[in-house]
Structure 1
Amino acid sequence: MSRSSVRPAKRVYNRRIIIASVVYAAMLLPTTYIVRHYTPELPLRIVLGLLPALGIVAMFVALGRYLLEETDEYLRACMVNQILWATGGTLSLATMWGFLENFDAAPHLPLYVVAIVWFFCLGLVGALTRDRAA
């Protein structure tokens, strides 16, 4: 698909996702290093803990803005379908994992993993339904 065939809303969405991903990576690496090597006080740890989350939040904002800005109803409906499947899949996996953890049958995972799994599910559903949206 050539650049000119990508719809304007999708092009803006892609740019926002790339920027949010760069922000996430740019915040994650130094904050993790600082916390592991310098043991800062609690107020600074709170700030450092929230900084990488800003990139993830920006990704969700970009997705919401895409839904608002996409004028093609079919493409918007396809994205909503993708979001619903990703959400259902992620909530199902998180629930199953939570019960396994509760029964000491699986190791504890940090909560930020839920967002990672959700984006993975979003991409997987998108790949599986790509022919329908073309």
Structure 2
Amino acid sequence: MASHVPLSHGLMRLVAYRVTATLLFLASFFVVKPIWRAFDIHGPWRMVFLLIPLGGMVLFFRASRWGKTGTDFSPAVERFLNRLFVCMTAYLALLVAAQLGKEVFGLSGTVLAVLRVLPAIPMIGCIFAMGRYLAEEQDEYQRLQAARASLFATGLLLTVAMIWGFLEQAGLVRHVPASSAFIVWAMGLGIVRCLQQVRAR
């Protein structure tokens, strides 16, 4: 019978840090609007609470690079994280601009519609970055793991959307914006990738 090799203390800390950072980063997008509603916050003060996802993003990218090794941090991964960081930074900046356009400058009509659509462009960039990573990764095993993680994330998204939709039709839960779909997908992807790294070690 093969003996089980326990995880080292350092590896356990690394995994815990990465999982926590991933969950905090992704969950932060679901925290801001409930805070706005709970405390009836309007105007430019809303922008202060966007520091929550900003802090989560910084922690996430620091965790992604902590303890990196040649086996799980190839040049393709480095490029993927750089592209992801650019896209997420642009997303937050455009999200702030869209919110200010409505809350502070009172924009409406076509101008507001265009401003509201702009944050979707960096999100599409994140999807493109994932596709580029799969094309650039030379390690077949890592490419397979990434494809499996993407498949799991897609299945998770479809499952959550289906269950939530049935509950919403019954009036048991409140409506969630369709833009949250990307966050659910990314959450599934991040969790699986962390678990894959644990199993690989």
Residue deviations 1:24-43 (CA, integer Å, cap 9, x gap): 01110121121223332321
Equivalent residue runs for 1:45-124 within 5 Å: 45-124=112-191
Q: C-alpha distance in 1, partners of 2:131/2:185?
A: 15
Mapped contact 1:13–1:62 kept (Cα < 8 A): yes
Q: Does the residue aligned with 2:177 lie in a helix, a strand or coil?
A: coil
The Cα of 1:62 is off from its aligned counterpart by: 0.3
TM-score when scaled to structure 1? 0.92
Which is richer in helix?
Answer: 1
The one-letter code sitting in structure 1 at the alignment partner of 2:185 is: W
Which ranges in structure 1 are unaligned for 5 or more consecutive residues? none
Q: C-alpha distance in 1, partners of 2:132/2:79?
A: 9
Residue in 1 that maps onto 2:63: none
Mapped contact 1:90–1:114 kept (Cα < 8 A): yes
Q: C-alpha distance in 1, partners of 2:155/2:68?
A: 33
TM-score when scaled to structure 2? 0.63
CA-based RMSD: 1.4
Which deviates more from structure 2 when the two are superposed, residues 101-110 or residues 38-47? 38-47
